[in-house]
Structure 1
Amino acid sequence: MATILESPFIDALGVQLIKAVDGESEVRMPLQESHMNTWGIAHGGVTMTLLDAALAIAARSVAGDGVGVVTVEMKVNFMQPGRGELSGFGRILHRSTTMAYCEGEIRDSEGHFVAKALGTFKYMKRLAVGRDIVRQKLRSDPAATPGPSDA
Structure 2
Amino acid sequence: MNWQHKKQPPFNDHLGIKIEEWQDGRVLISAIVQPEHLNSHGVPHGGFITTLIDVAGSYCGLYCPYPNRRRKSLTLSLTTNFTGRAKTNRLTAIGKLTNSGHNIFYSTTEVYDSQGTLIATGQMTMRYRSGSEILEGEAIEEKPEKSRL
TM-score, shorter chain, exceeding 0.5: yes
Tell me the matched-pair count: 137
Distance apart, 1:119 and its partner CA: 0.1
Q: TM-score, normalised by structure 2?
A: 0.81
Q: TM-score, normalised by structure 1?
A: 0.80
- Structure 2 distance, partners of 1:110, 1:117, is 20
Distance apart, 1:13 and its partner CA: 0.5
For structure 2, the 5+ residue unaligned runs are 132-137
- Structure 1 distance, partners of 2:114, 2:21, is 17
After the TM superposition, which residues 14-93 of structure 1 pair with which residues of structure 2 at under 5 Å, given as runs?
Answer: 14-61=16-63, 65-82=69-86, 83-93=88-98
- Structure 2 distance, partners of 1:77, 1:4, is 30
- Structure 2 distance, partners of 1:39, 1:2, is 35
Q: What is the aligned-residue identity percentage?
A: 23
Distance apart, 1:6 and its partner CA: 2.7
- Structure 2 distance, partners of 1:100, 1:41, is 31
Moved more, 2-11 or 106-115: 2-11
Task: Say which structure is richer in helix.
Answer: 1
Aligned to 2:135: none
State whether residues 64 and 70 of structure 2, in contact with CA within 8 Å, keep that contact through their aligned partners in structure 1.
no
Distance apart, 1:4 and its partner CA: 6.5
- Structure 2 distance, partners of 1:3, 1:32, is 24
